[in-house]
A and B are shown apart, each in its own frame.
Chain A
Amino acid sequence: DQQVKQNSPSLSVQEGRISILNCDYTNSMFDYFLWYKKYPAEGPTFLISISSIKDKNEDGRFTVFLNKSAKHLSLHIVPSQPGDSAVYFCAARTHNNNDMRFGAGTRLTVKP
């Protein structure tokens, strides 16, 4: 039972354009959402997060949008750079639970 879903296994964009990575969740108790970035042979690293009391959080080129009614969040990267090429994982947790659930990941390729 995958509670966090990333339905696009891969995404390819041109350098300088926008990358949009999507994530859906089924558990309405989730109230904290995170995006992680993973390069080959490395552990995932935290990128950006959003609490359920917000609908948008921005950090430089990265913006996460949350649509609670649709149980959907997205990560926007503008402008995309070749160094952004990695696997991006969406994750979610409840405030009183240490069990963080991850999606299957989306491999982003940014072409020069």
Chain B
Amino acid sequence: NAGVTQTPKFQVLKTGQSMTLQCAQDMNHNSMYWYRQDPGMGLRLIYYSASEGTTDKGEVPNGYNVSRLNKREFSLRLESAAPSQTSVYFCASSGQLAGELFFGEGSRLTVL
């Protein structure tokens, strides 16, 4: 079972460039999430999608957009990357009642 798959695993961008992080889950989960992890800050929620067709802002949404393409896929887009967006990004999914999140392996993004 693949679980939660994120691509790409590594990316280097220049300031002002755009890119999209892709995420797919094969567990038939309703909810999907994008987090970023920074040293000393833990995991901070960027956006989440409680179900197909809905998206909501999390703790740190500025500079990001998301698309819940279908039940399986949830993408994160940086329209104009900034050095402050250098981070490790994690996609996660959860079943409606379980509460626990299942995470992908992470995508390390560096913005120069």
Contact = CB atoms under 8 A, between A and B. Distances in A.
Interface of B: 4, 31, 33, 35, 40-45, 48, 50, 56, 58-59, 90, 92, 94, 99-106
A42, A100, A102, most chain B CB atoms within 10 A: A100
A34 interface: yes
Nearest to B43: A102
Contacts of A44: 43, 90, 101, 103
Interface string A35-79: 010000111111001000000000000000000000000000000
B99 A102 contact: no
6 contacts: A2-B42, A43-B105, A46-B100, A89-B43, A101-B59, A102-B43
A102 B35 CA distance: 10
A98 interface: yes
B4, B35, B103, most chain A CB atoms within 10 A: B103
Nearest to B6: A43
B11 to A, nearest CB: 15
A45 B103 contact: yes
Interface in A1-53: 2, 4, 6, 9, 32, 34, 36, 41-46, 49
Given A34-B99, A98-B50, A98-B56, A41 B42 contact: no
A109 to B, nearest CB: 17
Contacts of A4: 42
Nearest to A34: B100
Nearest to B3: A43
Given A43-B90, A44-B103, A49-B99, A98 B31 contact: yes
A112 B73 CA distance: 42
Given A89-B42, A89-B43, A104-B40, A98 B103 contact: no
Contact of B42 (A93, A99, A105): A105
Given A89-B42, A98-B56, A102-B42, A43 B104 contact: yes
Contact of A100 (B4, B41, B101): B101
